[in-house]
Amino acid sequence: MYAIGKVTFLDNLRKQVLQVVLILTLAAVASTTLLSFFDMGIQIKILKDLSLAAILFCGGILAITVSVGCIPSELQNHTAYPTLARAVRRGDYLLGHYFGVCATCFLCTAIVGGVFVGILGVYEHSLDVPVIIGMGYVFLEVAVLAAIGMLFSVFLSPMVSATLTLFVFLLGQIKVTYLHGAIERATVPVSKQIMQGFYYLLPNLDCFSFKDALVHNIPIPSSFLVLVAVYAIVYIGFLVSASGAILSRKEI
């Protein structure tokens, strides 16, 4: 599993999409230093807002593009056959790829986050611990997104998997705000039950975003942080287990 994850990680580092997304995100974070005409307090708020959004953009794009292509490309090019022929369980094979994808996303988000924290430290003359914690939960959201992409990739083409993963990401962001209200307004019992089932299957990605609280320096309860972390781990475990079960039954 470790060897598969390492190979996946090193292979992902050579992809041009990673380099392009990383450069664009770093440029977006660095551009916040040009807002010196604002008041210092407003400048710090803009820096936090744009940088946290940029980190999520970087990790999300990489999670989608990398996770949906690693396994289908190996199956199509028959490079997975030697590995699976060595008595490697398909679940371990998939888990190794998932860890490799997460390592790639973590490296890129850590680089962007390091630049962001460095700039913020120059402005605030201190280390903003809540922001670092917030970036950790951004990575958890990215990890959930990578697990979703991996699930779709084991039985769909990369293009369809990327489209559906992006669709789930967008719906997960508005799940509580809009979908819950739509369920409450539904009048037909059958459609309401279908919408409720869809609602509970969707990940609540909005709970990973503490951007507003971090921008306005609002404290976040520790109990909520623990609950969100447990939710992410359980949801990722469910997705990876489902992906492994589908791959184990797939004819290769």
pLDDT tens digits along 66-114: 999 888 887 777 777 677 677 678 888 889 999 999 999 999 999 999 9
For 139-169, how does the pLDDT look when each residue is reduced to its tens digit (9 = 90+)? 999 999 999 999 999 988 889 999 999 999 9
Task: Tell me the domain boundaries of the chain.
Answer: 2-248
Compute how many other C-beta atoms are within 10 angstroms of the C-beta atom of residue 197: 10
Does the structure show a pLDDT above 80 at 179?
Answer: no
Q: Give dist(CA 180, CA 184) in Å, integer.
A: 6
> Please, what is the average pLDDT of the chain?
85
Confidence of residue 239 (pLDDT cuts 50, 70, 90): very high
The first and second tokens of residue 220, run together, are 């976040």
Q: Give dist(CA 92, CA 84) in Å, integer.
A: 10
Does the structure show a pLDDT above 70 at 37?
Answer: no
Q: Give dist(CA 174, CA 121) in Å, integer.
A: 32
Does the structure show a pLDDT above 80 at 196?
Answer: no
Q: Give dist(CA 243, CA 234) in Å, integer.
A: 14
38 vs 91: which has the higher pLDDT: 91
For 220-229, how does the pLDDT look when each residue is reduced to its tens digit (9 = 90+)? 888 999 999 9
Q: Give dist(CA 185, CA 115) in Å, integer.
A: 45
- Cβ-contact 66, 146 below 8 angstroms: yes
pLDDT at 10: 86
